Protein backbone atom coordinates (compact mmCIF):
# COMPACT_ATOMS: atom_id res chain seq x y z
CA UNK A 1 0.00 0.00 0.00
CA UNK A 2 1.22 3.49 -0.77
CA UNK A 3 -0.33 6.71 0.46
CA UNK A 4 -2.65 8.15 -2.18
CA UNK A 5 -3.04 11.93 -2.11
CA UNK A 6 -6.36 13.38 -3.32
CA UNK A 7 -5.95 16.54 -5.41
CA UNK A 8 -9.22 18.40 -6.16
CA UNK A 9 -8.98 20.72 -9.17
CA UNK A 10 -11.79 22.73 -10.81
CA UNK A 11 -11.71 22.33 -14.58
CA UNK A 12 -13.63 25.58 -15.21
CA UNK A 13 -11.07 27.64 -13.29
CA UNK A 14 -8.19 26.02 -15.20
CA UNK A 15 -9.92 26.86 -18.53
CA UNK A 16 -10.17 30.48 -17.41
CA UNK A 17 -6.42 30.47 -16.80
CA UNK A 18 -6.47 30.45 -12.99
CA UNK A 19 -3.31 28.97 -11.43
CA UNK A 20 -3.83 25.98 -9.12
CA UNK A 21 -1.10 24.61 -6.90
CA UNK A 22 -2.56 21.08 -7.29
CA UNK A 23 -1.64 21.19 -10.99
CA UNK A 24 1.91 21.86 -9.90
CA UNK A 25 1.79 19.08 -7.27
CA UNK A 26 0.54 16.55 -9.86
CA UNK A 27 3.24 17.67 -12.33
CA UNK A 28 5.93 17.38 -9.64
CA UNK A 29 4.88 13.80 -8.81
CA UNK A 30 5.13 12.93 -12.52
CA UNK A 31 8.56 14.57 -12.84
CA UNK A 32 9.77 12.55 -9.84
CA UNK A 33 8.66 9.25 -11.43
CA UNK A 34 5.34 8.82 -9.60
CA UNK A 35 1.89 7.87 -10.98
CA UNK A 36 -1.24 10.04 -10.88
CA UNK A 37 -4.84 9.46 -12.02
CA UNK A 38 -5.97 12.47 -14.07
CA UNK A 39 -9.21 13.40 -15.85
CA UNK A 40 -9.30 13.61 -19.65
CA UNK A 41 -12.26 14.42 -21.92
CA UNK A 42 -12.76 10.67 -22.60
CA UNK A 43 -12.06 8.74 -19.37
CA UNK A 44 -9.69 9.16 -16.42
CA UNK A 45 -6.11 8.12 -17.24
CA UNK A 46 -3.35 6.76 -15.00
CA UNK A 47 -0.40 9.02 -15.85
CA UNK A 48 3.38 8.59 -15.67
CA UNK A 49 6.42 10.05 -17.44
CA UNK A 50 6.34 8.12 -20.75
CA UNK A 51 10.14 8.38 -21.09
CA UNK A 52 10.89 6.85 -17.67
CA UNK A 53 10.72 3.00 -17.77
CA UNK A 54 10.56 2.69 -13.97
CA UNK A 55 7.65 5.12 -13.74
CA UNK A 56 5.82 3.31 -16.55
CA UNK A 57 6.30 -0.07 -14.84
CA UNK A 58 4.40 1.31 -11.84
CA UNK A 59 1.34 1.84 -14.08
CA UNK A 60 1.32 -1.82 -15.12
CA UNK A 61 1.67 -2.92 -11.49
CA UNK A 62 -1.08 -0.64 -10.17
CA UNK A 63 -3.57 -1.72 -12.87
CA UNK A 64 -2.55 -5.37 -13.04
CA UNK A 65 -2.08 -4.80 -16.78
CA UNK A 66 -0.30 -7.32 -19.04
CA UNK A 67 3.14 -5.89 -19.95
CA UNK A 68 2.69 -6.41 -23.70
CA UNK A 69 -0.29 -4.05 -23.80
CA UNK A 70 1.19 -0.70 -24.95
CA UNK A 71 0.31 2.69 -23.47
CA UNK A 72 -0.91 5.84 -25.23
CA UNK A 73 1.50 8.79 -24.90
CA UNK A 74 -0.25 12.11 -24.20
CA UNK A 75 1.17 15.43 -25.38
CA UNK A 76 0.28 19.10 -25.02
CA UNK A 77 1.80 20.48 -28.25
CA UNK A 78 2.54 19.37 -31.83
CA UNK A 79 6.30 19.76 -31.15
CA UNK A 80 6.07 17.22 -28.36
CA UNK A 81 4.56 14.71 -30.82
CA UNK A 82 7.38 15.11 -33.37
CA UNK A 83 10.03 13.97 -30.87
CA UNK A 84 8.21 10.67 -30.32
CA UNK A 85 8.12 9.68 -34.01
CA UNK A 86 10.81 7.93 -36.07
CA UNK A 87 9.90 9.96 -39.18
CA UNK A 88 7.94 13.14 -39.80
CA UNK A 89 4.21 12.67 -39.41
CA UNK A 90 2.52 11.31 -42.59
CA UNK A 91 0.48 13.96 -44.48
CA UNK A 92 -2.85 12.25 -43.78
CA UNK A 93 -2.10 12.10 -40.05
CA UNK A 94 -1.16 15.79 -40.09
CA UNK A 95 -4.55 16.58 -41.61
CA UNK A 96 -6.32 14.61 -38.88
CA UNK A 97 -4.20 16.30 -36.20
CA UNK A 98 -5.10 19.74 -37.56
CA UNK A 99 -8.79 18.85 -37.56
CA UNK A 100 -9.20 16.81 -34.37
CA UNK A 101 -6.31 17.68 -31.98
CA UNK A 102 -6.63 18.49 -29.18
CA UNK A 103 -9.39 15.89 -28.81
CA UNK A 104 -10.33 12.21 -28.50
CA UNK A 105 -8.16 10.85 -31.34
CA UNK A 106 -5.07 8.63 -30.89
CA UNK A 107 -2.73 7.99 -33.83
CA UNK A 108 -0.09 5.23 -34.06
CA UNK A 109 3.29 5.77 -35.79
CA UNK A 110 6.79 4.23 -35.90
CA UNK A 111 8.44 5.29 -32.66
CA UNK A 112 11.70 7.15 -32.13
CA UNK A 113 14.37 5.84 -29.75
CA UNK A 114 13.31 8.18 -26.95
CA UNK A 115 10.18 6.06 -26.36
CA UNK A 116 11.16 3.09 -24.16
CA UNK A 117 9.84 -0.40 -24.98
CA UNK A 118 8.19 -0.46 -21.56
CA UNK A 119 5.85 2.25 -22.85
CA UNK A 120 5.27 0.70 -26.30
CA UNK A 121 4.72 -2.79 -24.89
CA UNK A 122 7.74 -4.05 -26.85
CA UNK A 123 6.42 -2.70 -30.18
CA UNK A 124 8.31 -0.41 -32.59
CA UNK A 125 5.28 1.87 -32.74
CA UNK A 126 3.92 4.54 -30.42
CA UNK A 127 0.34 5.71 -29.89
CA UNK A 128 0.06 9.51 -29.53
CA UNK A 129 -2.87 11.57 -28.26
CA UNK A 130 -3.31 15.30 -27.59
CA UNK A 131 -6.11 15.56 -24.98
CA UNK A 132 -8.40 18.59 -24.88
CA UNK A 133 -9.35 18.39 -21.19
CA UNK A 134 -8.07 21.58 -19.49
CA UNK A 135 -6.70 19.71 -16.44
CA UNK A 136 -4.91 17.02 -18.48
CA UNK A 137 -3.51 19.75 -20.72
CA UNK A 138 -2.32 21.88 -17.79
CA UNK A 139 -0.62 18.95 -16.03
CA UNK A 140 1.21 17.78 -19.18
CA UNK A 141 2.28 21.33 -19.97
CA UNK A 142 3.47 21.98 -16.42
CA UNK A 143 5.48 18.74 -16.27
CA UNK A 144 6.81 19.42 -19.78
CA UNK A 145 6.89 15.64 -20.35
CA UNK A 146 5.07 13.27 -22.70
CA UNK A 147 2.71 11.37 -20.40
CA UNK A 148 1.86 7.67 -20.75
CA UNK A 149 -1.70 7.03 -19.60
CA UNK A 150 -3.97 4.02 -19.97
CA UNK A 151 -7.49 4.25 -18.59
CA UNK A 152 -7.26 4.50 -14.78
CA UNK A 153 -9.24 1.33 -13.98
CA UNK A 154 -8.03 -2.00 -12.67
CA UNK A 155 -7.31 -4.15 -15.74
CA UNK A 156 -10.53 -5.74 -17.04
CA UNK A 157 -12.87 -3.35 -15.18
CA UNK A 158 -14.97 -0.66 -16.88
CA UNK A 159 -12.98 2.51 -17.62
CA UNK A 160 -13.40 5.25 -14.98
CA UNK A 161 -15.49 8.27 -15.91
CA UNK A 162 -15.58 9.89 -12.46
CA UNK A 163 -12.93 10.56 -9.80
CA UNK A 164 -14.86 8.23 -7.47
CA UNK A 165 -14.29 5.32 -9.91
CA UNK A 166 -10.52 5.96 -9.64
CA UNK A 167 -10.74 6.19 -5.85
CA UNK A 168 -12.61 2.84 -5.80
CA UNK A 169 -10.04 1.10 -8.04
CA UNK A 170 -6.69 2.70 -7.20
CA UNK A 171 -6.57 3.99 -3.61
CA UNK A 172 -3.36 2.67 -2.02
CA UNK A 173 -1.89 1.82 -5.43
CA UNK A 174 -1.08 5.26 -6.88
CA UNK A 175 0.63 8.41 -5.62
CA UNK A 176 -2.28 10.75 -6.30
CA UNK A 177 -5.77 11.00 -7.76
CA UNK A 178 -6.85 14.30 -9.31
CA UNK A 179 -10.57 14.89 -8.72
CA UNK A 180 -11.64 16.99 -11.68
CA UNK A 181 -15.30 16.14 -12.30
CA UNK A 182 -16.95 13.76 -14.74
CA UNK A 183 -15.58 12.93 -18.19
CA UNK A 184 -17.77 14.35 -20.97
CA UNK A 185 -17.21 11.76 -23.72
CA UNK A 186 -17.23 8.73 -21.42
CA UNK A 187 -15.64 6.24 -23.85
CA UNK A 188 -11.95 6.07 -24.76
CA UNK A 189 -10.38 7.84 -27.73
CA UNK A 190 -10.56 6.64 -31.32
CA UNK A 191 -7.35 4.73 -32.20
CA UNK A 192 -6.08 4.74 -35.81
CA UNK A 193 -2.80 3.21 -36.98
CA UNK A 194 -0.55 4.83 -39.59
CA UNK A 195 1.84 1.86 -39.43
CA UNK A 196 0.25 0.74 -42.74
CA UNK A 197 -1.50 2.27 -45.73
CA UNK A 198 -4.42 2.77 -45.88
CA UNK A 199 -4.58 3.57 -42.17
CA UNK A 200 -6.51 1.12 -39.97
CA UNK A 201 -9.10 2.05 -37.37
CA UNK A 202 -8.30 -0.15 -34.35
CA UNK A 203 -10.72 1.29 -31.81
CA UNK A 204 -13.83 3.39 -32.59
CA UNK A 205 -14.49 6.51 -30.51
CA UNK A 206 -16.10 9.95 -30.58
CA UNK A 207 -14.03 10.90 -33.64
CA UNK A 208 -15.95 8.55 -35.92
CA UNK A 209 -14.81 6.54 -38.96
CA UNK A 210 -17.11 8.72 -41.06
CA UNK A 211 -15.47 11.93 -39.74
CA UNK A 212 -12.00 10.54 -40.48
CA UNK A 213 -12.92 9.40 -44.00
CA UNK A 214 -14.25 12.84 -44.78
CA UNK A 215 -10.78 14.32 -44.07
CA UNK A 216 -8.37 11.68 -45.47
CA UNK A 217 -10.41 9.33 -47.67
CA UNK A 218 -10.28 5.57 -47.44
CA UNK A 219 -9.38 3.84 -44.19
CA UNK A 220 -9.79 0.20 -43.19
CA UNK A 221 -11.72 -0.81 -40.12
CA UNK A 222 -10.19 -3.71 -38.21
CA UNK A 223 -12.64 -6.61 -38.01
CA UNK A 224 -12.12 -6.86 -34.24
CA UNK A 225 -13.97 -3.52 -33.94
CA UNK A 226 -17.22 -5.42 -34.63
CA UNK A 227 -16.58 -8.56 -32.62
CA UNK A 228 -14.50 -10.28 -29.98
CA UNK A 229 -11.22 -11.65 -31.36
CA UNK A 230 -11.24 -15.44 -31.48
CA UNK A 231 -8.18 -16.91 -29.78
CA UNK A 232 -6.38 -17.89 -33.02
CA UNK A 233 -6.65 -14.42 -34.64
CA UNK A 234 -3.67 -12.09 -34.44
CA UNK A 235 -4.29 -8.88 -32.47
CA UNK A 236 -3.12 -5.77 -34.35
CA UNK A 237 -3.66 -3.82 -31.17
CA UNK A 238 -2.60 -5.89 -28.15
CA UNK A 239 -5.54 -4.47 -26.21
CA UNK A 240 -7.93 -6.33 -28.54
CA UNK A 241 -7.06 -9.74 -27.19
CA UNK A 242 -7.84 -9.03 -23.54
CA UNK A 243 -11.30 -9.18 -22.00
CA UNK A 244 -12.44 -5.65 -21.27
CA UNK A 245 -14.89 -3.80 -19.09
CA UNK A 246 -16.15 -7.09 -17.69
CA UNK A 247 -19.15 -6.57 -15.45
CA UNK A 248 -19.47 -9.21 -12.73
CA UNK A 249 -22.73 -10.31 -14.38
CA UNK A 250 -23.23 -12.32 -17.55
CA UNK A 251 -24.00 -9.70 -20.21
CA UNK A 252 -26.18 -10.71 -23.16
CA UNK A 253 -26.58 -8.38 -26.14
CA UNK A 254 -29.98 -8.24 -27.85
CA UNK A 255 -30.46 -6.71 -31.28
CA UNK A 256 -34.12 -5.79 -31.81
CA UNK A 257 -36.74 -3.04 -31.60
CA UNK A 258 -38.05 -1.81 -28.22
CA UNK A 259 -41.15 -4.02 -28.05
CA UNK A 260 -39.38 -7.28 -28.94
CA UNK A 261 -36.52 -6.42 -26.58
CA UNK A 262 -39.01 -5.96 -23.75
CA UNK A 263 -40.93 -9.16 -24.59
CA UNK A 264 -37.71 -11.18 -24.47
CA UNK A 265 -36.43 -9.60 -21.27
CA UNK A 266 -39.83 -9.85 -19.53
CA UNK A 267 -39.98 -13.57 -20.39
CA UNK A 268 -36.53 -14.10 -18.88
CA UNK A 269 -37.06 -12.01 -15.74
CA UNK A 270 -35.48 -13.36 -12.55
CA UNK A 271 -34.27 -12.00 -9.23
CA UNK A 272 -30.78 -10.86 -10.18
CA UNK A 273 -31.64 -10.16 -13.83
CA UNK A 274 -31.68 -6.63 -15.21
CA UNK A 275 -32.25 -4.87 -18.51
CA UNK A 276 -29.59 -2.44 -19.72
CA UNK A 277 -32.01 -0.53 -21.86
CA UNK A 278 -32.76 2.69 -23.69
CA UNK A 279 -35.18 5.28 -22.27
CA UNK A 280 -37.65 4.28 -25.00
CA UNK A 281 -37.76 0.68 -23.68
CA UNK A 282 -38.87 1.64 -20.18
CA UNK A 283 -42.68 1.71 -20.78
CA UNK A 284 -42.57 -1.90 -22.07
CA UNK A 285 -40.38 -3.40 -19.35
CA UNK A 286 -41.70 -5.42 -16.40
CA UNK A 287 -38.19 -6.16 -15.05
CA UNK A 288 -35.60 -4.15 -13.15
CA UNK A 289 -33.56 -1.97 -15.48
CA UNK A 290 -30.95 0.75 -15.82
CA UNK A 291 -31.17 2.92 -18.91
CA UNK A 292 -27.97 4.02 -20.62
CA UNK A 293 -29.64 6.85 -22.52
CA UNK A 294 -31.96 7.49 -25.43
CA UNK A 295 -31.83 5.06 -28.38
CA UNK A 296 -31.20 8.07 -30.64
CA UNK A 297 -28.49 9.75 -28.58
CA UNK A 298 -25.14 7.99 -29.02
CA UNK A 299 -23.28 10.73 -27.14
CA UNK A 300 -25.46 10.18 -24.08
CA UNK A 301 -25.00 6.38 -24.34
CA UNK A 302 -21.22 6.86 -24.49
CA UNK A 303 -21.22 9.17 -21.49
CA UNK A 304 -23.34 6.77 -19.39
CA UNK A 305 -22.10 3.31 -20.46
CA UNK A 306 -19.17 2.65 -18.10
CA UNK A 307 -20.94 4.26 -15.16
CA UNK A 308 -23.93 1.98 -15.77
CA UNK A 309 -21.71 -1.12 -16.00
CA UNK A 310 -20.22 -0.19 -12.61
CA UNK A 311 -23.73 0.34 -11.16
CA UNK A 312 -24.66 -3.21 -12.18
CA UNK A 313 -21.65 -4.48 -10.23
CA UNK A 314 -22.67 -2.44 -7.18
CA UNK A 315 -26.21 -3.85 -7.13
CA UNK A 316 -25.00 -7.42 -7.66
CA UNK A 317 -26.61 -8.10 -11.04
CA UNK A 318 -26.07 -11.70 -12.23
CA UNK A 319 -27.55 -11.43 -15.74
CA UNK A 320 -27.84 -8.29 -17.86
CA UNK A 321 -29.82 -8.12 -21.11
CA UNK A 322 -28.37 -5.17 -23.03
CA UNK A 323 -30.29 -3.49 -25.84
CA UNK A 324 -27.92 -3.28 -28.80
CA UNK A 325 -27.09 0.22 -30.13
CA UNK A 326 -26.61 1.11 -33.82
CA UNK A 327 -23.27 0.39 -35.50
CA UNK A 328 -22.54 3.71 -37.17
CA UNK A 329 -21.08 7.02 -35.94
CA UNK A 330 -20.41 7.29 -32.21
CA UNK A 331 -22.74 4.30 -31.72
CA UNK A 332 -20.07 2.05 -33.26
CA UNK A 333 -17.84 2.95 -30.29
CA UNK A 334 -20.63 2.19 -27.82
CA UNK A 335 -21.38 -1.10 -29.63
CA UNK A 336 -17.66 -2.04 -29.61
CA UNK A 337 -17.37 -1.51 -25.83
CA UNK A 338 -20.53 -3.53 -25.11
CA UNK A 339 -19.35 -6.41 -27.31
CA UNK A 340 -16.08 -6.42 -25.38
CA UNK A 341 -18.04 -6.56 -22.11
CA UNK A 342 -20.11 -9.60 -23.17
Tell me, residue by residue from 108 to 127, as one string, x for binding to ligand TXA by CB under 6 A and - for no binding.
x-----------x--x-xxx
Tell me, residue by residue from 21 to 40, as one string, x for binding to ligand TXA by CB under 6 A and - for no binding.
-------------------x
Query: Quick one: CA dihedral 9, 10, 13, 14, positive or negative?
Result: positive
161 is a site residue for Mg ion (CB under 5 A): no
Q: Would you call 224 helix, strand, or coil by DSSP?
A: helix
What region, left, alpha or beta, does residue 181 occupy, with left being phi > 0 and alpha being psi -120 to 50 degrees? Answer: left
180 is a site residue for ligand TXA (CB under 6 A): no
Q: Which does 123 bind (CB under 5 to 8 A by kind): ligand TXA, Mg ion, none?
A: ligand TXA
151 is a site residue for Mg ion (CB under 5 A): yes
Tell me, residue by residue from 47 to 66, as one string, x for binding to ligand TXA by CB under 6 A and - for no binding.
--------------------
Residue 136 and residue 75 in contact, taking contact as beta carbons nearer than 8 Å:
no
User: Smallest distance from the beta carbon of 299 to ligand TXA, in angstroms?
Assistant: 15
120 is a site residue for Mg ion (CB under 5 A): no
User: Smallest distance from the beta carbon of 334 to ligand TXA, in angstroms?
Assistant: 14
User: Smallest distance from the beta carbon of 165 to ligand TXA, in angstroms?
Assistant: 12
Q: Would you call 211 helix, strand, or coil by DSSP?
A: helix
Q: Which does 27 bind (CB under 5 to 8 A by kind): ligand TXA, Mg ion, none?
A: none
Q: State which residue, 203 or 323, has the beta carbon closest to ligand TXA.
A: 203
The tally of CA atoms less than 13 A away on the side-chain side of residue 332 is 21
CA distance 152 to 179: 12
DSSP for 92-156? HHHHHHHHH-SSSEEEEEEBPTTS-HHHHTT-SEEEEE----HHHHHHHHHHTS-EE--BSS-TT
CA distance 106 to 185: 14
Give the CA angle between residues 305, 183, 72 to the nearest 5°.
95
Catalog residues that contact ligand TXA under the rule CB under 6 A.
40, 42-43, 45, 69-72, 104, 106, 108, 120, 123, 125-127, 129, 149-151, 188-189, 191, 202, 237-239
Catalog residues that contact Mg ion under the rule CB under 5 A.
151
Amino acid sequence: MIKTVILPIEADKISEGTEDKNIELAADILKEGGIVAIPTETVYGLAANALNPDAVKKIFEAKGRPQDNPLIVHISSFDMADKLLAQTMPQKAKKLAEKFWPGPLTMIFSKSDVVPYETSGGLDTVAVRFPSHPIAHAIIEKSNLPIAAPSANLSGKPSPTTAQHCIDDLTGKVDAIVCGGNCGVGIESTVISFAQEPPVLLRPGAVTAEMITEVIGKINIHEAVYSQLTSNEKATSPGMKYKHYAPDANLILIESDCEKFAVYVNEHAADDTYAMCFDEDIPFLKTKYISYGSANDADEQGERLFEVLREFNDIGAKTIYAHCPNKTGVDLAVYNRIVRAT
